[in-house]
Structure 1
Amino acid sequence: MVLHLLTFSTFTSSFIDLLEDEGIGENTYFILGGDERHTIIHRDNIRLSKRPTGFFERIKFYLDLVSCSHSSRKIVIHGLFDIRIIGLLFLQQGLLKKCYWVIWGGDLYRFKLAKKNVKNWVYEILRRPIIRKMGNLLTYIQGDIDLARKWYSATGKHHNCLMYHSNIYKEHPLKERELDNVVNIQLGNSADPSNNHLEILERLLPYKNENIKIYAPLSYGNPDYAKFVMDKGSSLFGDNFIPQIELLDFNRYLEFLEKIDIAIFNHDRQQAMGNIITLIGLGKKVHLKNSITPWNMFRTMGITVYPASKIELTSIEKSTSLKNINIIKNKFSRETLVKQWSGILNHE
């Protein structure tokens, strides 16, 4: 049995469906909280666990978790965030050789970006030996593996894996755009301060009087920060700034991305990769910081991306767009994802 430790997220349901529909491995899914706006189809091998409150409930929860961890053949940790998982692994480091850490990004960069306080200091003391001794590391971004080895002296085996359905090419027929000459710009992917929205809003100010629409997805993240971005965007760009505060389902979100011309992601770390891969696969012009690990990954693959420090409203050339689409289609396919997870979960 393979134990998966997950949270409710945009990835969870489609990931479980992928493994079950393709018959990959014998899996048990232990879901520990998260954003419960994301629903999951009930299956007998899914355990939903809310954060325990009472003393006896807490003890029972840990006993169940420990039992499943020891009886499993492999443990797949989908993002190393939850203090319960960190506590379990710190106290029972013998489990680490059979653990597979699916590196999300925020979990890797946490010690660099988290506030400096006692709580986070203790958190890092617990995480450091766990990451160092973790048996297996899963990601498709070599730069993140390099950072894990540099920052945490990680010794685990690297398994190249696209990780989730959100990171694969989506075959989606593009509709003919209306000839309105509006340049539609996507700014970031969430209401997380790591998007650095204000910096890009100020960088777009020279184009304030151009025919532009700025869309900012703010449906999840920090509500106070979302309000700050909405207020600032509206004050600078008026009705040309359009916050997206509704959580869209997959098809509606694809339709939204379809109308985007230019997408700007101003993160200081690897983040929003599902958005970025999908937009490049739709032939869109994507701006990133050239200091983050995905920049080198895309450039090495031959994909053209543009620096977030230099924004121009010019369209991506058709030949460049088609080249990018073909590379994404070949490198980020469902077939590749299935093959990778089959090799990881079925291999002894």
Structure 2
Amino acid sequence: MDAADRWPAEGDRGVIHHVIASSPYTTRFVKLLGDHPESFPPQEHRFWIESGSHGAFRVGHAGPFAHVEVGPWGFVQAFRRRAAKDHVVIHQLSNPRLLLYLAGARSTTRRCAWSVWGGDVYYYRQRPRTWDHPFRESLRRAVIPSIPVISSMIPGDYETVRSIYGSCARYVHAFYPIPMDYASLELDGDRPPRNGATILVGNSGHPSNAHAEVFRILARLRDPTVQIVSPLSYGHRRYVSSVIALGRELFGERFQPLTEFLPAAQYARLIRGTDAAIMNHDHQQALGNIIAMLMMGKKVFVRRPATGACNAAAVRAHLSEENAVAGWRNLFTALNGAV
């Protein structure tokens, strides 16, 4: 029997339908909710997890929650199965099919919340310059003002939404648990002997990392012992290919592209073996990597306008599980009261 068919009919507060992409962040988010059933009763949440035909990561298990793996049009099921008192949380507003659907269903949009995901907000200035992306941006400008509740980790992201899209939504501070095994960072693992430094560049295969600018600066060092590591396990395939080609052209065998997701403990070992990180985003991004590097007393370089972490201990305390639970509970409460 399909998980959707086992879903309870309707609770006192209705059901929260989560339209979300498959990623390590999704796994940690689902686990957070599942670990706190007193705040997030399983019967009040359903997950529609988009893996996509080329998905590099699959959640696989959603704990006590009913969940369905869907394709790019799978979100339609969430809206069709939504009862009168149900709401939808859109985790990242990037799917053009979803934008098109919402643009033609404004009354449905008013039953939604938008949870900002990564550089989600900054599509308006980072979108590719091909013919279809201006149309996608026009859909965003039509849809976003109708969404009554918006959450993000950084208040500045919400302020950007207000100024660019004219949103009057209620803001809720909520954030996704960072998929980093911090305990592994504190282990005294053996570090293989090396002749030079290892530098981590970027956190994904998204153009906002601006890898080429960093690579060309590092290439000027003319140090044959420097190793360059770039996580590229998700993002734009064409962009990833261009990053790999440039990295190999400039650094040869000293360039290590990470094109597959690593288990949390293995990624933590990688961080332990890194000497410095360069995050060239022009907005807050890669917070998990930044915190991990700072925890170990290593250097992190960020672009000046970016909102970043300055004190690892303070940021980790702010991003505690207790605060994460409170944030999502506040979001769901605000959404239930929005309409």
Aligned mate of 1:231, from 241, 245, 258: 245
Asked if the contact 2:56/2:233 (under 8 Å) is kept, the reply is: no
1:309-324 alignment, distance < 5 Å = 324=311
Output the CA distance in 2 between the equivalents of 1:200 and 1:187: 8
Question: Following superposition of structure 1 onto structure 2, how do residues 67-106 of structure 1 map, counting pairs within 5 Å?
Answer: 67-106=80-119
The alpha-carbon distance between structure 1 residues 230 and 118, as it changes in their structure 2 partners (threshold 3 A), is closer
Does structure 2 retain, via aligned residues, the 8 Å contact 1:169–1:329?
no
Match of 1:164 among 164, 176, 182: 176
| Correspondence for 1:193 | 207
Separation in 2, partners of 1:2, 1:37: 24
Q: Distance in 1 between matches of 2:255 and 2:121?
A: 33
Alignment correspondent of 2:61: 41
Q: Does the residue aligned with 1:22 lie in a helix, a strand or coil?
A: coil
Cα pair 1:168 1:334 within 8 Å, conserved: no
Could you tell me how far 1:135 is from its partner in structure 2? Answer: 0.9
Q: State the 1:345 CA deviation.
A: 2.5
- Say if 2:121 is the partner of 1:122: no
| Residue 274 (str. 1) matches residue 288 (str. 2) | yes
Aligned to 1:259: 273
Superposition deviation, residue 116 in structure 1: 4.0
Give the secondary structure class of the aligned counterpart of 2:33.
helix
The structure-2 alpha-carbon separation of the partners of 1:258 and 1:77, relative to structure 1 and needing over 3 Å to count, comes to: same
Return the letter of the residue paired with 1:258: R
Q: Check 1:92–1:225 CA distance in 2 against 1; reply closer, same or farther (3 A cut).
A: closer
CA deviation digits over 1:211-256, x for unaligned, max 9? 4221122233344433433333233233332222332111111111
1:109 lines up with 2:129 in the alignment: no
Deviation (angstroms), 1:290: 1.2
Instruction: Find the counterpart in structure 1 of residue 10 from structure 2.
Output: none
Q: Is the 8 A contact 1:281 1:329 kept in 2?
A: no
- Residue in 2 aligned with 1:336? 323
SS at match of 1:233: helix
Shift of 1:70: 4.5
TM-score, with length taken from structure 1: 0.79
Worse overlay, 10-19 or 142-151? 10-19
Contact 1:167–1:277, Cα closer than 8 Å, also in 2: no
Q: Which amino acid aligns with 1:92?
A: A
2:260 is equivalent to residue 246 of structure 1: yes
Q: 1: distance between equivalents of 2:226 and 2:59?
A: 35
Q: Report the counterpart of residue 7 of structure 2 in structure 1.
A: none
Confirm whether residue 132 of structure 1 aligns to residue 145 of structure 2. Answer: yes
Deviation at residue 48 of structure 1 after TM alignment: 1.8
Is the deviation greater in 168-177 or in 88-97? Answer: 168-177
C-alpha displacement of 1:125: 2.4
Compare 19-28 and 337-346 and name the one that shifted more: 337-346
Q: Is the 8 A contact 2:51 2:58 kept in 1?
A: no
Shift of 1:117: 4.8
The percent identity for this pair of structures is 28
TM-score, length basis structure 2:
0.81
What SS does the corresponding residue of 2:24 show, helix, strand or coil?
coil
Return 67-76 or 213-222, whichever deviates more.
67-76
- Determine which of 4, 13, 29 is the counterpart of 1:15: 29
CA, structure 1 residues 147+257, in 2 after alignment: closer, same or farther (shift >3 Å)?
same
Distance 1:67 1:239 in 2: 51
- Residue 202 of structure 1 corresponds to 216
User: How far apart, CA to CA, are the structure 1 residues paired with 2:245 and 2:138?
Assistant: 39
Q: Is the 8 A contact 1:169 1:328 kept in 2?
A: no
Partner-residue secondary structure (3-state), 1:287 = strand
Whether the aligned pair in 1 keeps the contact of 2:198 and 2:228 (CA below 8 Å) is yes
Unaligned runs of 5+ in 1: 53-57, 304-323
Shift of 1:180: 5.0
2:91–2:117 CA contact under 8 A, matched in 1: yes
Of 34, 41, 45 in structure 2, the residue corresponding to residue 27 of structure 1 is 45
Q: How many residues align?
A: 312
* Cα deviation, residue 179, structure 1: 7.0
> What's the counterpart of residue 290 of structure 1?
304
What's the offset of the Cα at 1:338? Answer: 1.6
Structure with the largest fraction of helix: 1
CA deviations 1:88-110 (Å, max 9, x no partner) are: 32222223343221112433111
Matched with 1:312 is: none
CA RMSD between the two structures:
2.7
